[in-house]
C-alpha cells in the first residue's frame, strides 16, 4: 500500500474510495456482472473518475500481497468489494481473509450490490475432490518447509465435506502466532507458489483455483473450523441462531459482549448453541439445524465400521501394485477381508485380465493367502457389461470366483431405458453380486447416466445384488441423493475404494465413507461393515436362488 500511495502521490481517502464505489455501483446496477475493463471504460467515458482514480482502481485490482494485506485493514467495505469484482486470481476469496462472509459485507453494502459482487459460486472453478486432496497435501508440505509446521492442520471447505467438486478448497493452520507464521510463509514461499498473502492467510498456486490457507490461534480453532468448513449458508444460520441467544459467532471466537466464551472443539460451539454436533457432511443439507434440534440426525457410518474392501485392481489389469501389495495395504488399514477385482477382457482399461490369466491370478492369491493368513482374500473380477447385457467371462469361470462385480463402463450410445434394460438383465444373472459405480459419472466431467434409478435399486433389492458407493476420485458414485434413495429402498449397498494403488486404499475408502455420510447412511445399511461370512452368505444366497435377508 505504501508503494501504491507513493505512486499516486497521496493516501487513498476512505471517503474518496466510497465515492468511487458509488460510481461503480451505478454502472453495475445498470448492467450486472460487467467485466472490469468495461466498468473502467464506462467510468472514464462518463468523466466520473480522474486519471489518478483510474490508476488507483487498476492498482486495487492488481495489488500484490503486501498491498492486499494492508487494504484489508484500511479500505472501506465498498472499496474492498471492488477487489472482488476485479479479475484478481483470488477474486472474492482474497477479501475473505478479513471480511470472510457475505454476512460481513451485508453490514456495509446494500444486498443488491452484494449479489452483484459476490456471485453464488457459479463463476468459480470447481475443483474435483481427488485433485484438491493431492494439492492440499502438496501445499501443506511447501508451507511447513517455508514457515515451519503449525501445531495442527485441518482440511476445511469442500475437501472436508467430501464434496465431489467444490469451489472452496482451503486449509486451516493452527498456530500460536498466525500473523508471524503467515509472514514467514509469504517471505519464504517461491514466487510461483505464493499467489497472495494476507495478514493471517496465504494463497498458494493450485489448479484450477488457488488453495487458501488460513492461520488461526489455538483459542480460535473451534470457531474457525466451523467457519471455514462451511458451507456459507450453514455458518450464516449458526450466526443467526447465536445472535438470537445474545452471543456473536465470529471466525475467531464466540463472543458474549466483549468476552470470548472458551471453546475447545467444534462440538462445544454446537453445544453452546443448544444443538447436538452436526456432522460435516450434513451441514449443506436444507433443514439440518431443525433436524438437529429435533434430535433426528442419523448416526452416520464411520471409517472404523468398514470391515473390508471388495473392489480393487492389481498389475493383472491396470493397477500399479501386486496382489501382495494390495493385501498388505488392506491389512495395515485393519480390514478383515478384501477382494481382488481386476478388469475383464473387453474392458477399455489400459490393461485387462485375460481369461487365461484368471487361473494364474488364482494361484498367486492362494500363495499370498498362505503367507498372510490373518486376512481373508476373496478372488473376484470387475466384469464389463456387454451391449446386450451379457458378461464377457464364461459362467464356468465366474463360478470359481468368490465375488463378481459388473460394470457399465460403456453406454454404446444407448438411451437411459436401454441402459436400464442391460442393468436389469445383468442383475438377474445369479453370478453377479455387485453393480459398481451405477451412474458411471465422473465429477467435473461427466454427469453420469440419467436413469430411473428407483427401478435399478428396486431390482437390486429384489435380486439380492448390491449397488456400490465407489470412492475412486474419478467416480464418487453413488453420491447423495442417489445413495440415500438406494438405502431408503433397502437395496444392498457396498462402500469400496476401487483403488489402483496400494497407498491410496485408505484415502479412497475415506472418500466412499464420506459419500455414504453425505447420504445420511447408517452403518447397518452397508454390507461391508459385516464380517466376511455375511459377504459369503450374500453371494451364496443369490447363487442358490434364495432371497437375501439383510
Ligand atoms: Zn469400473
Ligand atoms: Zn474398478
Q: How far is the CA of 335 from the centre of ligand 1 (A)?
A: 22
Give the pLDDT band of residue 194 (cuts 50, 70, 90): confident
Q: For the segment 272-331, what is each residue's pLDDT rounded down to a tens digit?
A: 999 999 999 999 999 999 999 999 999 999 999 999 999 999 999 999 999 999 999 999
Q: How far is the CA of 389 from the centre of ligand 1 (A)?
A: 16
- Measured CA to CA, the distance from residue 366 to residue 359 in angstroms comes to 11
Q: Is the pLDDT of residue 91 over 50?
A: no
- Ligand whose nearest atom lies closest to the CA of 500: 2
Give the pLDDT band of residue 16 (cuts 50, 70, 90): low
- Measured CA to CA, the distance from residue 111 to residue 106 in angstroms comes to 6
- Measured CA to CA, the distance from residue 210 to residue 208 in angstroms comes to 7
Q: Is the pLDDT of residue 449 over 80?
A: yes
Q: How far is the CA of 171 from the centre of ligand 1 (A)?
A: 31
Mean pLDDT across the stretch 202-224? Answer: 87
Q: How far is the CA of 312 from the centre of ligand 2 (A)?
A: 6
pLDDT of residue 189: 86
Q: For the segment 244-263, what is each residue's pLDDT rounded down to a tens digit?
A: 999 999 888 999 999 999 99
- Measured CA to CA, the distance from residue 315 to residue 321 in angstroms comes to 6
- Ligand whose nearest atom lies closest to the CA of 317: 2
CA distances from 335 to 304, 305, 374, 531 (A): 9, 10, 10, 10
- Measured CA to CA, the distance from residue 478 to residue 438 in angstroms comes to 7
- Measured CA to CA, the distance from residue 466 to residue 508 in angstroms comes to 19
pLDDT of residue 111: 30
pLDDT of residue 204: 82
Ion ligand 2 contact residues with beta carbon within 5 A:
382, 498
pLDDT of residue 186: 81
CB 185 within 8 A of CB 147: yes
Q: For the segment 134-177, what is each residue's pLDDT rounded down to a tens digit?
A: 999 999 999 999 999 999 999 998 999 999 998 778 899 999 99
Give, as one character, the DSSP assignment of residue 200. T
pLDDT of residue 82: 45
Q: For the segment 50-79, what is each residue's pLDDT rounded down to a tens digit?
A: 655 555 565 555 544 444 444 444 444 444
- Ligand whose nearest atom lies closest to the CA of 353: 2
Q: For the segment 376-417, what is each residue's pLDDT rounded down to a tens digit?
A: 999 999 999 999 999 999 999 999 999 999 999 999 999 999
Q: How far is the CA of 57 from the centre of ligand 2 (A)?
A: 52
Q: Is 0.85 topped by the overall pTM?
A: no
Percent with pLDDT over 70 in the chain: 76
Q: How far is the CA of 316 from the centre of ligand 1 (A)?
A: 15
Which of 202, 214, 216, 127 shows the shortest CA–CA distance to 169? Answer: 127
Q: How far is the CA of 318 from the centre of ligand 2 (A)?
A: 9
Q: For the segment 467-515, what is each residue's pLDDT rounded down to a tens digit?
A: 999 999 999 999 999 999 999 999 999 999 999 999 999 999 999 999 9
The larger pLDDT score, comparing residue 108 to residue 510, is at 510
The rounded mean pLDDT for the chain is 83
32 cis-preceded (ω within 30 degrees of 0): no
pLDDT of residue 197: 66
Q: How far is the CA of 440 from the centre of ligand 2 (A)?
A: 11
478 cis-preceded (ω within 30 degrees of 0): yes
pLDDT of residue 156: 93
Q: Is the pLDDT of residue 108 over 80?
A: no
Q: How far is the CA of 304 from the centre of ligand 1 (A)?
A: 25
pLDDT of residue 28: 62
Reduced to 3 states (helix: H, G, I; strand: E, B; else coil), residue 434 is: strand
Q: How far is the CA of 409 from the centre of ligand 1 (A)?
A: 6
CB 402 within 8 A of CB 376: no
Amino acid at each position: 500500500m505504501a508503494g501504491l500511495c507513493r505512486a499516486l502521490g497521496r493516501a487513498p481517502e476512505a471517503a474518496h474510495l466510497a465515492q468511487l464505489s458509488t460510481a461503480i455501483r451505478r454502472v453495475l446496477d445498470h448492467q450486472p456482472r460487467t467485466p472490469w475493463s468495461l466498468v473502467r471504460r464506462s467510468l472514464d467515458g462518463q468523466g466520473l473518475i480522474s486519471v489518478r482514480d483510474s490508476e488507483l482502481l487498476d492498482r486495487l485490482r492488481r495489488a500484490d500481497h503486501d498491498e492486499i494485506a494492508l487494504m484489508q485493514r484500511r479500505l472501506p467495505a465498498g472499496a474492498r468489494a471492488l477487489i472482488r469484482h476485479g479479475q484478481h486470481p483470488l477474486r472474492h476469496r482474497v477479501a475473505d481473509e478479513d471480511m470472510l462472509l457475505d454476512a460481513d459485507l451485508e453490514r456495509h453494502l446494500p444486498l443488491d450490490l452484494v449479489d452483484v459482487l459476490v456471485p453464488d459460486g457459479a463463476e468459480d472453478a470447481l475443483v474435483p475432490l481427488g485433485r484438491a486432496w493431492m494439492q492440499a497435501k502438496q501445499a501443506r508440505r511447501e508451507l511447513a518447509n517455508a514457515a515451519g509446521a503449525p501445531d495442527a492442520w485441518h482440511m476445511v471447505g469442500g475437501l472436508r465435506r467430501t464434496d465431489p467438486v467444490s469451489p472452496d478448497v482451503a486449509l486451516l493452520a493452527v498456530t500460536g502466532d498466525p500473523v508471524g507464521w503467515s509472514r514467514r510463509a509469504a517471505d519464504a514461499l517461491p514466487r510461483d507458489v505464493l499467489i497472495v498473502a494476507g495478514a493471517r492467510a496465504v494463497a498458494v498456486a493450485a489448479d484450477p483455483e488457488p488453495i487458501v490457507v488460513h492461520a488461526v490461534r489455538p483459542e480460535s480453532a473451534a470457531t474457525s473450523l466451523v467457519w471455514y468448513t462451511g458451507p456459507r449458508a450453514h455458518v450464516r444460520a449458526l450466526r443467526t441462531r447465536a445472535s438470537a441467544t445474545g452471543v456473536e459467532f465470529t471466525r475467531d471466537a464466540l463472543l458474549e459482549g466483549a468476552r470470548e466464551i472458551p471453546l475447545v472443539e467444534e462440538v462445544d460451539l454446537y453445544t453452546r448453541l443448544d444443538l447436538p454436533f452436526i456432522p460435516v457432511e450434513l451441514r449443506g443439507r436444507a433443514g439440518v439445524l431443525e433436524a438437529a434440534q429435533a434430535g433426528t440426525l442419523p448416526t452416520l457410518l464411520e471409517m472404523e465400521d468398514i470391515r473390508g474392501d471388495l473392489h480393487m485392481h492389481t498389475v493383472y489389469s491396470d493397477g500399479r501394485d501386486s496382489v501382495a501389495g494390495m493385501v498388505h495395504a488392506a491389512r495395515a488399514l485393519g480390514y478383515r477381508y478384501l477382494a481382488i477385482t481386476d478388469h475383464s477382457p473387453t474392458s477399455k482399461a489400459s490393461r485387462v485380465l485375460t481369461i487365461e490369466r484368471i487361473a494364474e491370478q488364482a494361484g498367486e492369491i492362494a500363495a499370498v493367502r498362505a503367507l498372510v493368513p490373518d486376512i481373508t482374500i476373496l478372488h473376484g473380477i470387475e466384469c464389463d457389461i456387454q451391449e446386450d447385457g451379457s458378461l464377457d467371462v464364461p459362467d464356468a469361470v465366474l463360478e470359481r470366483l468368490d465375488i463378481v462385480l459388473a460394470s457399465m463402463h460403456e453406454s454404446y450410445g444407448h438411451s437411459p431405458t436401454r441402459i436400464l434394460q442391460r442393468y436389469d438383465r445383468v442383475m438377474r444373472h445369479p453370478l453377479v453380486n455387485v453393480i459398481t459405480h451405477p451412474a458411471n459419472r465422473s465429477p467435473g466431467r461427466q454427469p453420469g447416466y440419467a436413469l430411473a434409478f428407483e427401478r435399478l435399486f428396486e431390482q437390486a433389492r429384489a435380486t439380492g445384488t448390491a449397488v456400490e458407493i465407489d470412492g475412486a476420485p474419478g467416480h464418487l458414485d453413488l453420491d447423495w441423493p442417489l445413495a440415500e434413495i438406494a438405502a431408503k429402498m433397502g437395496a444392498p449397498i457396498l462402500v469400496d475404494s476401487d483403488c489402483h494403488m496400494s497407498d491410496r486404499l485408505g484415502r479412497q475408502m475415506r472418500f466412499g465413507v464420506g459419500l455414504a455420510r453425505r447420504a445420511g447412511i447408517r452403518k447397518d445399511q452397508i454390507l461391508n461393515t459385516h464380517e466376511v461370512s455375511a459377504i459369503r452368505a450374500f453371494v451364496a444366497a443369490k447363487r442358490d436362488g434364495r432371497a437375501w435377508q439383510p
